Amino acid sequence: MKHQYILGVSAGFHDAATALIRGDGEIIFAGHSERYSKNKNDAMICPELLAEFCEYPIDTIAYYERPWLKQLRNFVSGQGIDWSNITVQQVLENQLGSWLQHPPRKIQTYSHHLCHAAAGFQTSPYDRATCVVIDAIGEFDTVSIWGAEYDGSGCATYKKLWRQTYPRSIGLFYSAVTQRIGLHPLDEEYITMGMAAYGEPRYVEECRALLEDNLHIGIDPDWLRLATNEDIAASAQVVTEELIYSVMRRAQDMNWSTNLVYQGGVALNCLANRKLGEYFENIWIMPCPGDAGNSLGAAALAHGRRLRWTDAYLGHEISGEYPVRTLVDHLQSDRIVGVASGRAEFGPRALGNRSLLADPRGSDIKDLVNEIKRRQRFRPFAPVVLAEHVHELFDMPRGWHHSPYMQSVASCRRPDLYPAICHVDNTSRVQTVEADGSGIRSLLEAWYERTGCPMLLNTSLNIRGEPMVNDRADADRFTKEYGLIVLS
Ligand SMILES: [Fe+2]
């Protein structure tokens, strides 16, 4: 049987990505352009990314937003119109060059927030779900709530139940705060979130007022100039959580489903995510909920049916067996080791295939890892733990019995034993690993057998200032730069 192949594309703003799916719902590939070009948050699709799937006869290209609507919004918001990116044909020619036309391919476009909803729903295990999308901005939408279900013939259907439009935007507010405290917006929001625990929410009222005026944080009121970055971050986190939970309450009250599918860049706020279980019984956040994930969402919409989701290992492949035994040996002797094996993770988190791993026990390990990562002192590292042991070590929040993609914080029960993976408020961004046959699962089992510790410290493997390691050549550069072995 000849399969259809659909390529989803998300590009032109930040973090360009592609996703390739086959007509039977198999996700063949999903990956970020930055991992190939080495430009962090690369907005352009690079040729090396396209080369990953050159052997597939792609019939359809699905694009993740409506370019002319986006240009209209730019016009309305006073940013002017980019006449070279008005039609989807222009946008794709700019992004894909001659690759687009040889052979000619069918092109479809979908609205930005619908792509987010589909990226979540069609990878979720649910037949019916309430989809909540919260991001900085789509074409005009900044928050949307959808009722999603499969009809009698298995086609995904979406009913838009509510929307909020630009300029009111939770994501833009959080990005503006991130910029205000000297970090990179649309990239380093996770650092703002980590900083929040070190401050006091002294400026909640002031932050609310900024939002009410739709002024975000572009102006410079006195309080903002006098406040510490930590207090600004703490205050913004409180206000952001208020806004997220008011959307969740609204979505819950619609009584569409007790299953929540949550997407958009704001869904990466794992601190806010800890309370989602108060509104919904089941929670699914596809591990790449931001705009890069919309490449998969657009492809899903063109496909129209449920996708076969197994895990987030969808990117470039470094072939060979996951080197379990040598990793355990290195962890025992050196306490820290790199691994680059199997397929790269789709999404911003290293989940064991492009990871720096360390023994999480003891007080000095954080400094040892930080010698390589050179991160801000306030940022903890994440734990990866055998799922069956997670409740011995962490109080998992309601709705987060397991957390395979590191999407919620949980309180650590033994911060005295594992200070390196605990934040100042004793929370950790937990990754649980089921008996799923993955390399990281086999490693944790072997590590547990050898040491009695069911957990490792896990942080992304990247050269400072660069995206995550993608291929073996990147891994070798990492070793050269830091003198630390990276096993494949
Ligand atoms: Fe988005």
* Total count of residues recorded for the chain: 488
C-alpha of residue 438 to centroid of ligand 1, in Å: 30
In angstroms, the Cα distances linking 51 to 22, 33, 56, 140, 316 are: 17, 11, 10, 33, 11
Could you tell me which residues come within 8 angstroms of residue 172 by beta carbon, excluding any fewer than 6 positions away?
Answer: 136, 137, 142, 166, 216
Q: Nearest 5°: phi and psi at 437?
A: 80, 5
Lowest mean pLDDT segment, chosen from 115-119, 190-194, 321-325, 381-385: 190-194
Q: Per-residue confidence at 376, pLDDT binned at 50, 70, 90?
A: confident
| Digit-coded pLDDT (tens) for 383-442 | 999 999 999 999 999 999 999 999 999 999 999 999 999 998 999 999 999 999 999 999
pLDDT of residue 447: 98
Q: What is the pLDDT of residues 263-273, one digit of tens each?
A: 999 999 999 99
Distance from Cα 138 to the centre of ligand 1, integer Å: 5
Write down the pTM of the prediction: 0.95
393: buried, middle or exposed (CB in 10 Å: 19+, 13-18, 0-12)?
buried
Q: pLDDT tens for residues 442-469?
A: 999 999 999 999 999 999 999 999 999 9
65 C-alpha vs ligand 1 centroid, how far in Å?
9
Cα 11 to ligand 1 centroid, rounded to whole Å: 11
- Ligand 1 center from residue 343 Cα (angstroms): 25
Which residue in 330, 352, 329 sits closest to 339, CA to CA? Answer: 352
Is the pLDDT confidence value at 215 over 70? no
Task: Give me ligand 1 centre to Cα 127, in Å.
Answer: 24
